[in-house]
Amino acid sequence: MKKYIIIFIILICSLQLQSQINVVGTTTTVASLAKIVGGEKVSVDYICRGDQDPHFLEILPSYMMKLRNADIVFKIGMDLEKWLPQLIDGSRNDKLKLIDLSQEISKKEVPTTKTDASQGDVHPYGNPHYWLDPENAKIMAEEIYSAFSSYSSNDDAYFKKNLDEFKKQIDSNMKEWAKKTSSLKQKNIITFHKSWVYFTDRFQLKIVENVEPKPGIPPTPSHDASLIQLIKKDQIKIILMENYYSDSAPNHISEATGISVVKVPINVYGIESVDSYIKLMDYIINQISKNG
Amino acid sequence: MSRKLVYYLLLFSSLTVAQSNINPDISLIGTFDTYTNFIKDSPDYGKLLFDIPSFELYIEGYLNPYARAAANIAFEEGEFSAEEIYAQILRGLPLDIQIKAGKYLLGFGKLNTVHPHAWPFVNRPLWQQIYFSGEGFNDIGLDVNFILPTSDFYSTLDLGVYTGQSMAMNTAGEDADADEVRGNSLIFVGRLGSFFSFDDFNNLEVGLSSSFGNYAKSSFYIPDSVGFPEQMLKYYYGGFDFKYKYRPDSYTSLVLQGGTVLNYRDVIRGTESEPAVETITTYGAFVYIDYQFFKIFTLGAKYDYTFGIIGDDYSATTLSNDDQNKTSGIEVWFNYFPVEETLAFKLSTQYLYFNFADNISKDGETTVTLQMIFSLGPHKAHQF
């Protein structure tokens, strides 16, 4: 009998040691980075699908269930996930740890004057689309590593190894990505929404206009007309846009000018084949270089 | 009423300032209606009419990591009222329960807690006008919300106890003296709601609701001289609600939603010299479909049915006490949202028709409304 009790105790302890950290990422990119760093020590889920606009999400109770069972939730921050507080409230998970991955990010387009709705949907803390710069993905991975290491210090070495491998992959791919985008260096491009400043600054592209007349405001015929004139005058080659926006206005502009509309996911699993951060950047850069 | 309102605002703002240096969210939702009706013999037949603009001022925020508070001050028909003022403990309680206390729209059915500006249609469902009154089921009390241990789907149980002033208003109108109408006895409201997510694009919520208590004293309806022994007239509401949504992307969605109520209550019948208490069973239902396309437009239709005649005066045999006559309605709408929910235009046409048991004839009523709604301030994400 004593033997069975001892075996039972050892079994329970080993199960506890092997239990995973339950993680939720607000976006698929965040979840993907968490899985890269956490490996088999974490189980990961996400809230916003890769092909969904993370600005606007309906509060579904099923999202609250995901957070209810989670230990850590990672968010992009900078007011991108306005829906998150209601989900956390609904989950009633007192033990849930919320980690903002923007803490160490060097933020761009931080408003220096009072913002209001006349400027469109302006993010008051700066442009939150920072994950589109691979260097920022490394910073996000480091934040994730710190969180995991605090949560499970026994596995610190394992998480560090995964982090270092990821950073090495980014560094080795950066050379290839820079080479592919070199033909568009310092060239003007148009984007649909103001999501791309971190990406374009990294790869030295220049955004001269957006299809949205102001952030979050649908395209208008008069603004489309001014874009058509600009494209013809400056010989702009591409409109870069997220695949969850309607391409109706960009296609109309393309018909008038011959400009290429480059429609890409901006999150992992934004299309099925893009199942990792590296593949996401590969896809975006390949599409740009193919059409630029 | 204005003095009370100022008091509530001062109290609320002092509480929020005392608890935190961070400002609460403040939003203003304004509504402006212009309409015409085609009601036979109405002096306004075919005339273009304008309602006094109304607004709702929302103030809400976290008091601390464990609790939130909110206030909704409404200005309607030229008068201020505190539509909702409540605090909610969100975490830190045993069994993960949440407690809400104050004055607020009660969780009977799914639609009652949704403010009218967020409806796709313009006109409140008919049975809610009969059994809840025109302002919805709104009362003072407290509610405990339990999250049930269902692993595959989200399920909650709400149990609440309230003063019953809403039933006094439903019996005798907005200015009813609750003591005179029903004395002092509590009412109870509960709802069991479950949410099912079939996949990323298809979701369904269903709910069962219940409410019971006393709605009036018999002496409210019967003159004292009759000598009828006073007794409390009881009511029981049972309800079923559902909401299905298909949303493949942010530009398109299809919503099918409905709700029913079964009303089982004591009523005064007989004659003035020989009154008697009887029990009646009546019901009401609504269902609507709303289709969103190109992100900024929606098209929809609603069907309504209820016992009771909309617009009747309050009495022992009308409205929620009416088990003889019925009102039906059809409403169709076309909505335009140029920029998210900051501005909305709703064009609605409603046709009401009446069915009287004693062959009274009343013509149908058509109302065409153009409603403009604006939303100023931070916008919370939409609840399903």
Maximum separation of any 2 CA atoms in chain A, in Å = 87
CA distances from B156 to A91, B67, B246, B374 (A): 11, 19, 22, 32
CB atoms within 10 A of CB B194: 17
Specify the pLDDT at position B6.
55
Residue located via tokens 């009660």: B106
Does residue B204 belong to any structural domain of this protein?
A: yes
pTM, two decimals, is 0.91
SS3 B336: strand
Residues of B in contact with A61 (CB under 8 A): 154, 195, 197, 205, 384
Residue A2 Cα, gap to closest chain B Cα (Å): 35
| Res B220 pLDDT > 60 | yes
- Of the candidates B147, B200, B382, the beta carbon closest to that of A59 is on B382
**What confidence tier does B9 reach under pLDDT thresholds 50, 70, 90?**
low
B336 in contact with A at a CB cutoff of 8 Å? no
Residue A45 Cα, gap to closest chain B Cα (Å): 14
Does residue B313 belong to any structural domain of this protein?
A: yes
Specify the pLDDT at position B8.
53
Residue A242 Cα, gap to closest chain B Cα (Å): 13
> Span B63-88, mean pLDDT?
95
CB contact under 8 A, A58 and B200: no
Distance, CA of B322 to CA of B130 (rounded, Å) = 9
CB contact under 8 A, B381 and A61: no
Task: Please name the residue of chain A whose CA is at the shortest distance from the CA of residue B381.
Answer: A83
Q: Are B85 and B12 in contact (CB under 8 A)?
A: yes
Q: Picking from A11-25, B7-21, B145-159, B182-196, which range would have the lowest pLDDT averaged per residue?
A: B7-21
CB contact under 8 A, A59 and B250: no
CB contact under 8 A, A53 and B250: yes
> Span B138-157, mean pLDDT?
95
Residues 6+ apart with CB under 8 A from A2: none
Does residue B156 belong to any structural domain of this protein?
A: yes
CB atoms within 10 A of CB A97: 15
Q: Which domain holds residue B95?
A: 88-376
A217 in contact with B at a CB cutoff of 8 Å? yes
Task: Please name the residue of chain B whose CA is at the shortest distance from the CA of residue A90.
Answer: B90
Specify the pLDDT at position A7.
63
Q: pLDDT of B229-274, one tens digit each?
A: 889 999 999 999 999 999 999 899 999 999 999 999 999 998 878 8
Residues of A in contact with B378 (CB under 8 A): 82
Segments of chain A with pLDDT less than 50:
16-17
Q: Where are the domains of chain A?
A: 19-110+118-175, 183-291
Name which residue leads in pLDDT, B378 or B18. Answer: B378
Q: Picking from B38-42, B121-125, B209-213, which range would have the lowest pLDDT averaged per residue?
A: B38-42
Q: pLDDT of A266-279, one tens digit each?
A: 999 999 999 999 99
| A-B contacts (CB, under 8 Å) | 68
Residues of B in contact with A51 (CB under 8 A): 249
- Please, what is the average pLDDT of chain B? 92
Does residue B227 belong to any structural domain of this protein?
A: yes
Specify the pLDDT at position B34.
97
- Most A CBs within 10 Å: which of B158, B297, B374, B383, as the mutation test of the A interface? B383
Cα distance from N-terminal residue to C-terminal residue, chain B: 34
Residues of B in contact with A246 (CB under 8 A): 251, 294-295
Residues 6+ apart with CB under 8 A from B19: B63, B64
Specify the pLDDT at position A187.
86
Residues of A in contact with B92 (CB under 8 A): 94
- Most B CBs within 10 Å: which of A48, A55, A59, A62, as the mutation test of the B interface? A62
CB contact under 8 A, A60 and B342: no
Domain at A19-110+118-175: CATH architecture? 3-Layer(aba) Sandwich (3.40)
Specify the pLDDT at position B95.
94
CATH number, domain with residue B128 = 2.40.160.10
| Res B16 pLDDT > 50 | no
Task: Please name the residue of chain B whose CA is at the shortest distance from the CA of residue A120.
Answer: B339
SS3 B258: strand
Residues of A in contact with B381 (CB under 8 A): 56-59, 82-83, 86
Distance, CA of B113 to CA of B88 (rounded, Å) = 15
CB contact under 8 A, B339 and A56: no
CB contact under 8 A, A61 and B195: yes
B147 in contact with A at a CB cutoff of 8 Å? yes
Does residue B344 belong to any structural domain of this protein?
A: yes
State both tokens at B343: 């501005």
> Span B163-190, mean pLDDT?
93
> Span B219-226, mean pLDDT?
79
- Of the candidates B295, B382, B384, the beta carbon closest to that of A61 is on B384
CB contact under 8 A, B381 and A52: no
Query: Which H/E stretch holds residue B219?
Result: helix B218-221
Q: What is the third-level CATH fold of A183-291?
A: Rossmann fold (3.40.50)
Q: pLDDT of A254-263, one tens digit each?
A: 999 999 999 9
B18 in contact with A at a CB cutoff of 8 Å? no
Specify the pLDDT at position A11.
57
Does residue B329 belong to any structural domain of this protein?
A: yes
Share of chain B above pLDDT 90, in %: 80
Listed by number, the residues of chain B in 28-57 with a beta carbon closer than 8 Å to a beta carbon of chain A are: none
Residues of B in contact with A59 (CB under 8 A): 381-384
DSSP chain A: -HHHHHHHHHHHHHHHHHPPEEEEEEEHHHHHHHHHHHGGGEEEEEEE-TTS-TT---B-HHHHHHHHT-SEEEE--TTS-TTHHHHHHHHT-TT-EEEETTTT----S--SS---GGG-S--TT----GGGSHHHHHHHHHHHHHHHHHH-GGGHHHHHHHHHHHHHHHHHHHHHHHHHTGGGTT-EEEESSTT-HHHHHHHT-EEEEESSSSTTPPP-HHHHHHHHHHHHHHT--EEEEETTS--HHHHHHHHHH--EEEEE-SSTTSSTT--SHHHHHHHHHHHHHHH-
Q: pLDDT of B337-367, one tens digit each?
A: 998 889 999 999 999 999 999 878 889 999 9
Specify the pLDDT at position B5.
59
Task: Please name the residue of chain B whose CA is at the shortest distance from the CA of residue A60.
Answer: B384
Residues of B in contact with A94 (CB under 8 A): 91-92, 96
B295 in contact with A at a CB cutoff of 8 Å? yes
**What confidence tier does B2 reach under pLDDT thresholds 50, 70, 90?**
low
Distance, CA of B143 to CA of B164 (rounded, Å) = 14
A61 in contact with B at a CB cutoff of 8 Å? yes
- Most B CBs within 10 Å: which of A63, A79, A94, as the mutation test of the B interface? A94
Beta pairing class for A72-75 and A188-191: unpaired
Tell me how many domains chain B contains. Answer: 1
Specify the pLDDT at position A105.
98
CA distances from B87 to A173, B16, B64 (A): 52, 11, 11
